[in-house]
Structure 1
Amino acid sequence: MAKHVSENALIMFTILLVSFLVSVESQEFSRRLSQRSFGLRKEKLSHFQFYFHDIVSGSNATAIRIVEATRTNRTAATGFGDITMIDNPLTAGPERNSRLVGRAQGIYTSASLNEMGLLMAMNYVFVEGKYNGSTLSILGRNAVMSTMREMPIVGGSGLFRFARGYAQARTHTFNMNNGDAVVEFNLYVLHY
């Protein structure tokens, strides 16, 4: 009888040990890493200035409305609920034929019933110099009628891994006839 009890105890102990090891292993989903192992040494602050060309008119539009909220558009002058997909050029100067430094790719949507307030979700994809292929991600509110708007930089890729900061936008020109706009952006980015 004692041999039978000790075998049962051994089996129970083995089952408990295995289940403990499995649960410990399955709970270990994160670990601490060295910043140096990722090449992260000293953080720096960089300033970028460029012009965002929001072209909504013509056959070569770079901003296309993909959703129109018909219910609210009858009552809200803000276009509340509309969603626009963009692949806008970013240039060194305000002229459309100025040197291309990147593209703004993403969406903006009218997110306010009472004023022109956009929710911007976009990536600035750089195509020039050492930043070629790197991106910065913007996610924030753009109160279009304000002289200066500020939106957070929430991350990036390539040379902008672990980036954070803010973007300031100021309308450079707006064409009342066709809706095209050129917006000056100044970005202040902390990155490694």
Structure 2
Amino acid sequence: MAKPISFFFLLVSSLTLTLTLIPTKGEALDQGFLGNKKEKLTHFRAYWHDIVNGQDPSSVLIMNPPKNYSSTGFGLVRMIDNPLTLGPKLSSKMVGRAQGLYAASSKEEVGLLMAMNFAFFDGKYNGSTITVFGRNPVFEKVREMPVIGGSGLFRFARGYVQARTHEFDTKTGNAVVEYNCYVLHY
């Protein structure tokens, strides 16, 4: 009988300790670690290259829906490691990669759930990321998705991206999408 009681005591003790470390409602977070940094808005543009075929695809199929199940591709899932470039040509200067996944999440229209990090490896944003997570109704001219976080220079990031299809090849399935990013950060 001693083992169940000691396990219960250990569980309650660790839960109590954990709860005392979490700020309670109304408690302000000490922002001293930010120094005197002020929040700023950064706007930049990058081109996202979704390469689904060829020798070196940057987007690979993880899950394909059953044949004739849906005209919207509902259920399709792709993992991506897409180049981000300064211009619309793949030969443009590469500044980072969009890493994550997208999934066809709508039965009624071609709508994707996008979950990706823009990982930058060039210029002043080198080593920084922004995280985009949201709905992408691909046939709308402009799609807006939230930026829900970031790292490096984009720590505490929030904002949004606007996606516009620059080019889509119906034969290959490859796409180039212009992303205008508006990010608030410190």
Q: Same fold by TM-score, threshold 0.5 exceeded? A: yes
Superposed counterparts of 1:28-39, under 5 Å? 28-31=20-23, 32-39=28-35
Query: How many residues are aligned here?
Result: 170
The one-character-per-residue Cα deviations of 1:83-141 (angstroms, maximum 9, x if unpaired) are: 00000000000011000011000000000011110000000000111211110000000
Q: Extract unaligned runs of 5+ from structure 2.
A: 1-12
Aligned-partner SS, 1:28: helix
The one-character-per-residue Cα deviations of 1:118-169 (angstroms, maximum 9, x if unpaired) are: 0000000001112111100000000000000000000001111100000000
CA drift of 1:23 comes to: 8.1
Q: How far apart in 2 are the matches of 1:110 and 1:65?
A: 12
| Structure with greater helix percent | 1
Aligned to 1:106: 100
CA drift of 1:37 comes to: 1.7
Q: Aligned to 2:143, which of 140, 149, 154?
A: 149
Q: How far apart in 1 are the matches of 2:33 and 2:173?
A: 48
Q: How far apart in 1 are the matches of 2:127 and 2:88?
A: 22
Aligned to 2:7: none
Runs of 4+ in 1 over 4 A off after TM superposition: 21-26
Structure whose alpha-carbon radius of gyration is higher: 1
Identity of aligned residues (%): 54
The one-character-per-residue Cα deviations of 1:69-88 (angstroms, maximum 9, x if unpaired) are: 22xx4131111011000000
Q: How far apart in 2 are the matches of 1:23 and 1:166?
A: 37
Aligned-partner SS, 2:153: helix
AA partner of residue 38 (structure 1): L
Aligned-partner SS, 2:146: strand
Aligned to 2:10: none
TM-score (norm 2): 0.86
Q: Report the CA distance shift for 1:75/1:40 in structure 2 as closer, same or farther (over 3 A).
A: farther
Q: Aligned to 1:56, which of 37, 52, 55?
A: 52
Q: How far apart in 1 are the matches of 2:31 and 2:37?
A: 7
Residue 131 (structure 2) pairs with residue 137 (structure 1):
yes
Aligned to 2:175: 181
Aligned-partner SS, 1:103: strand
CA drift of 1:39 comes to: 3.5
Aligned to 2:152: 158
CA drift of 1:41 comes to: 2.1
Over the aligned positions, Cα root-mean-square deviation in angstroms equals 1.7
Q: Extract unaligned runs of 5+ from structure 1.
A: 1-20
Aligned-partner SS, 1:130: helix
